Structure 1
């Protein structure tokens, strides 16, 4: 559970840095699967710093998935929005309302209930059909991005967010389906394709459209589906007699995260203020600093 929470901390902080980097990058082609935009974002130091934190978070996530049910880890990852909200309030001086501070507390309470009720990971290793299904889903995420790029702004944001969430969900399940360095296992390729596709769609969502809507879609996509796969096909269970607490904790943690969905993207005025402050600091240090 400590690894799951550490992963949430890394991902939540990375979201702020990646949003700043994506906003500073030049616009790409405008499609949902926008490699040009991702390439531009990769040239921004904030985006790269966010990716570094994502790498640390992914390592912690893998450790958590090897010892906890997928539904617990998924809820912890959704709770990264609470981390993002707090980081925004501190770094970008974004004002949180009382409802949003209450949502942060609700997320923490939900995670505490999950930690109390969760059992160990299921003993199921998944059938070959499930491995191939994850690979097909990963390629399907790319298809979602292609379709989303042709939609108007409002539905585009929701579809991009859901697609990114599905991609991250594929990664969560694929980790459980990998037994070792067997390159004949489709789960390896599902992990790589699903993760890459999710980042492509998420980067597009961070720069265009309603990122609040996209982030809410991503939270739903990366929590509910993988949790069901873990329970139905991989044998994830709760502690004896505490299924109600796990369901309630999962529900309120995800609900609290959805309330905080607007923090999937720092508000534009706050981003501009940060850039102005950095420019002023460079001016004080002198030219070439």
Structure 2
């Protein structure tokens, strides 16, 4: 099995390749679930503030992650930590097919009770507990998730992540309640300008301690968290048929170009390419 070299995927155009497709499950409420196929280049280097957890279904799924290269094949579990940069491309000429879910760290936090986020080294785990815990959330896109089924699966996933990651030493005391108040404040005010002073006033926690706690508990900074929630709104509006220009303004961005810069950095694709792949027929 011959892997592609990094140079073979260095140049790309901002269009889905021939035969590439993405299928999104609209039934999930708390997570985002996708199944996709890419024949070559999939994503430029990017980072998002959610966990990305997936199964490679066929082929070799290759990605740069934490100064290394990972080649995922069927049987293991991909676990990309929030705010860690990564890309994606096919490891062989046969392409790769995979299912992936994006889950907010806040959901993991609710199950773990304010512990630091679990971290899986290398971006891939062979732990059978983690694979088993992800099977419900990563089942076929044609199998709609019942609400209670989804909630139970999220709890099981959080416990399996913690078990697979092991104990992290040197934990500092964090104020989970204050960080959660700040997170909720941003969700309620995502369409307006929010300052760290606003979060300090809302939470009762001094701004720098709050900023440190937020990173420990949710894997990203308050500003990045707010930008990503705005991008989530853009994707929902655009998928429902709204123009990207209107979606950008309604989500709190200055204009479409402002949104596009953040979107491309977050997802490794422009909004236009993401929309075209989403509308492509799946195989």
TM-score calculated relative to the size of structure 1: 0.27
Return the structure number with greater helix share. Answer: 1
Q: TM-score, normalised by structure 2?
A: 0.27
Larger RCO (CA under 8 A, 6+ residues apart):
1
